Structure 1
Amino acid sequence: MDSLISAGRVVTGPYGRVLEDGAVLVRGGVITDVGPSAEVESRAPAGIARHVHPEGTLLPGLVDAHVHLALDAGPDPVSALCEADDTSVAEGIAKRALGLLDAGVTTVRDLGDRNGLVTAFRDAVSVGRAPGPRVLAAGTPLTGPGGHCWFLGGEVSGENAIRELIHRNVEQGVDLIKVMATGGGITKGGPPIWAPQFATAELRVVVEEAARAGLPVAAHAHGTAGIVAAVKAGVSTIEHCTWIDRDGFRLLDDVVDEIVDRDIRVCPAASPDWRGFAERFGAERAKEMFDGIRRMRERGVRLLTGTDAGVSRAVFDDFVSSLEFFAYLGCTPTEIVDLATYEAADALGLSEVTGRLLPGLRADLLIVAGDPLRDLQALRRVRLVMADGHLHVRR
């Protein structure tokens, strides 16, 4: 929808760049003009749809870099998925995508699919057949026999099987490759979360095969040994990165330095229910885990915003609660808005597509009441969402 959108404040880029009383002109799904309201108004065509929010802040759409659209965030999302047919799962994916839009999330990276359902939904969104955020889809994640998320169909053993599954994913048009470098919490009867599932050499095969197709690799890794292997293999992002060892926590400073040197991004995948997780996990143990992420940030690791939406209690429409985790780490509201917009888009290879309000980029934007650069809670007061030029009517 061609639109002229104006607000009392316009966040045009990172580092708190704000234009007072500004406007954005959108034509054909692309931002074509940004500037003071009077100037943009003078250049806008007559009769164009106008959205005026003098008390609001206009900013780029938010980016959630870790979701699972196939999971329902209920008490037992794995059983719910395994018991549902593909038609029901596809309907749930479409519904949950609307929850993301309601929260101002206009780009997501989905890190675990079944039967290409999320990839199909991505394609429907991209051609305008379905409303939703832009989706980067990982397809079927690689895991060991009986390993974490085996129920998604990605069990592999040995280098040949690894290559074959990556080739199948590539043929289905995935945007990245996901590998479960360690066990995970939602897989009943699977390996413990600290246990590595692949040797370093096998992870190198994953990275090499993905690179041949021009794809990045996201590695799920809780355990220290799995994190070390993922770093040595050269993955693009590490998900969770909690440094859990058999007997507690073991963060290795030299490996953290290597993460920085290789510019590997780390997504803590902090659930909107991260405070509740701390209570269930144990306050002392949770603090040690969270302090490890803070320590990585202080040493220069670049963090990614992500919610793990879809696992139990990780809902799709409460992105701000997840962002509050970064405030807990010591980030300012301005830094958090940057993390959730430009920084995340850059990490996902989308810096020339989204993450800023600049002419030539896609029209992913939202208006909130208040100033999120001073008060993060303003992001809860969503007044307008536009995803790829499509105006979203909130439910």
Structure 2
Amino acid sequence: MNKVLITADRVIVGPSDKVTVDGAVLVDSGKVTAVGAASDLDAAVDARVPRLRSPGATVMPGMTDCHVHLAFDAGPDPIGAVVKADPGELSTAMADRAAQMLAAGVTTVRDLGDRDALAVALRESIDSGAEVGPRIITATVPLTSHGGHCGFLGGEVSTDDDIRAQIARNAAAGADLIKVMASGGALTPGGPRMWEAQFTPAQLRLIVEEAERHGLGVAAHAHGSATIAHCVAAGVRTLEHCSWRTAEGIVHDPAVIRRMVETDVAVCRCVSGDWRLFLDQMGPERANAMIEVILEMREAGVRFIAGTDAGVPGAHFGDYVGMLEFFASLGFTHPEILDIATVNAARALGLADTGVLAPGKRADLIVVDGNPLTELDALRRIRHVFVAGRPVARPGPHR
């Protein structure tokens, strides 16, 4: 079915304050060709064009998960699951995980760390039509220090020449961007602590410059407060986690936040569906400090984007909406949250052809029961998913 007219009670055109009541979207050859009132388009479009009528539903742009690891299994030992896996078996598992995300209404994922460029192979398989899955943006192997966070993926570097060589290898492998583990992380035993820097400010600048030489942007895993400042100064495009940690606790710098807004650095908080447990484990003092800095960044105008860190322990591939509910718990409005998942994410990833429904845009869209502008749980009730205009047959249950 190359051409279809989709009608529903409302169409969220995007941003989410642009809504057409009793609206319709015409899809043709993978593109959105018209958006407007259902009565007008129904009358104007040839009667032979198939109609997908969805009473009680909402049509909206497909959602984006800006931080996933398709090579990880969300189990207690993701390192072992990646390192010991047979490449063929791992590729099959990654395709299944991508399909789970598509079933949850996620039409674009950004994979921020795998092995052997397997996400590139999956991206190409999906693009060719051999596999059904979301659009994949991939960083391939993250740059890290020797013995550093996620070094088991193979991206350990020390010298400037190492950095240049690894970025060149990633680009040659088909990377869409460069990922740098600018600070330590909790996943890697024996590595630097979360607030400790893995690269100097000069090295971070080199990484950004070298990535730009290959036409690529940089996403920075950055927990430490000093590291966040260095990443912003270096010119990264997105900050992953951005948790403002120090050895003493959570300490943020308003001047750095202002600079983030001025230079349009987006923040992916990487919140999975088990965020309530995560807050409990942090303890009330640190949890409240984390929430306060998120709200301060929001007030300052920082652009948040949606990411679940799917694949790390407890972060399951089918629970995208659980992450959005975290923002709702902090007082973010539903329209804000939908923009985090769609138009903001597309902008941060440099995808000018998606995130909104407009003529000429790629036809990545979903149809959900109810109205997500008033009830986020509507996003769990997926009726239909289209990726580049291709309908996905009856999305399966969340896993």
State the TM-score, normalizing by the size of structure 1.
0.97
Query: What SS is found at the alignment partner of 1:339?
Result: helix
1:381 & 1:282 partners in 2: Cα distance?
33
Q: Who is 1:187 aligned against?
A: 188
Q: Please state how far the C-alpha of 1:41 moved relative to its aligned partner.
A: 2.1
Q: Aligned partner of 2:382: which letter?
A: V
Deviations 1:220-261 (A, max 9, x none): 000112112111111111100101101211111111111111
Q: Match for residue 234 of structure 1?
A: 235
**1:91 & 1:6 partners in 2: Cα distance?**
35
Partners of 1:161 and 1:345 in 2: how far apart?
31
Specify the alignment match of 2:97 in structure 1.
Answer: 96
- Are positions 1:279 and 2:280 aligned together? yes
Match of 1:250 in 2: 251
Residues 281-327 of structure 1 deviation map (CA, whole Å, 9 limit, x = unaligned): 32332222222222111112111111111101111111111001211
Q: CA deviation at 1:106?
A: 0.4
Deviation at 1:328, TM superposition (A): 2.4
- Which residue does the alignment assign to 1:362? 362
Question: Contact 1:143–1:156 (CA<8 Å) still a contact in 2?
Answer: yes
Partner of 2:341: 340
Segments of structure 1 that go 5 or more residues without pairing to the other structure are none
Contact 1:243 1:249 in 2 (8 A): yes
In 2, are the aligned partners of 1:5 and 1:25 still within 8 Å (CA)? yes
Aligned equivalent of 1:77: 78
Q: Which amino acid letter does the alignment assign opposite residue 198 of structure 1?
A: F
For residues 85 and 290 of structure 1, the distance between their equivalents in structure 2, rounded to whole angstroms, comes to: 41
**Letter matched to residue 52 of structure 1:** R
Aligned counterparts of 1:35 and 1:215: Cα–Cα separation in 2: 36
Per the alignment, residue 322 of structure 2 pairs with 321
Take 1:313 and 1:390, find their aligned partners in 2: how far apart are those partners? 31
**Alpha-carbon shift at residue 15 of structure 1 (Å):** 4.2
Deviations 1:190-238 (A, max 9, x none): 1111110000000000000011111110000001121121111111111
- Whether the aligned pair in 2 keeps the contact of 1:29 and 1:362 (CA below 8 Å) is yes
Deviation string 1:312-371 (CA, Å, 9 cap, x unpaired) is 111111111100121123210011111111111111111x31111111111111111111
Q: TM-score normalized by structure 2? A: 0.96
User: Are 1:383 and 2:359 matched, yes or no?
Assistant: no
Q: Is the 8 A contact 2:111 2:139 kept in 1?
A: yes
Amino acid at match of 1:378: A
1-side partners of 2:22 and 2:260: how far apart?
41
Q: Secondary structure at the match of 1:248?
A: coil
The alignment's C-alpha RMSD in Å is 1.2
Confirm or deny: 8 A CA contact 1:114 1:140 kept in the other structure: yes
Q: Which runs of 5+ in 2 are unaligned?
A: none
CA separation of 1:15 and 1:98: change in aligned 2, threshold 3 A: closer
Kept after mapping to 1: 8 A contact 2:63/2:341: yes
CA contact (8 A) 1:63 1:107 kept: yes
Q: Is the 8 A contact 2:272 2:319 kept in 1?
A: no
Q: Which amino acid aligns with 2:374?
A: R
SS in structure 1 at match of 2:13: strand
- Cα deviation 1:142-195 (Å, max 9, x = unaligned): 000010000110000011100000001111121100000001111111111111
Question: 2:328 aligns to what SS in structure 1?
Answer: helix
Q: Verify the 8 A CA contact 1:21 1:54 in the aligned structure 2.
A: no
Number of the residue aligned with 1:177: 178
2:271 paired with 1:270: yes
| More divergent stretch after superposition (68-77 vs 275-284) | 275-284
Distance 2:102 2:44 in 1: 29
- Contact 1:64-1:109 at 8 Å conserved across structures: yes
CA distance in structure 1 between the aligned counterparts of 2:256 and 2:23, rounded to whole angstroms? 44
Q: C-alpha offsets along residues 121-156 of structure 1, whole Å, 9 cap, x if unaligned?
A: 111111211111111110110000010000110000
Are the counterparts in 1 of residues 16 and 338 from structure 2 also a CA contact under 8 Å?
Answer: no
Q: How far, CA to CA, are the matches of 2:291 and 2:164 in structure 1?
A: 35
SS at match of 2:143: coil
Q: Where does residue 29 of structure 2 map in the other structure?
A: 28
The residue type equivalent to 1:80 in the other structure is: A
What secondary structure, in the 3-state scheme, does the structure 2 residue paired with 1:391 have?
Answer: strand
Contact 1:272 1:321 in 2 (8 A): yes
Instruction: Select between 134-143 and 68-77 the one with higher mean Cα deviation.
Output: 68-77
Q: In structure 2, what is the equivalent of residue 201 of structure 1?
A: 202
CA distance in structure 1 between the partners assigned to 2:9 and 2:171 by the alignment: 45
**Aligned equivalents of 2:299, 2:329: Cα separation in 1:** 13
Q: Does 1:309 align with 2:293?
A: no
Distance 1:147 1:315 in 2: 24
SS of residue matched to 1:13: coil
| Code of the aligned partner of 2:306 | T
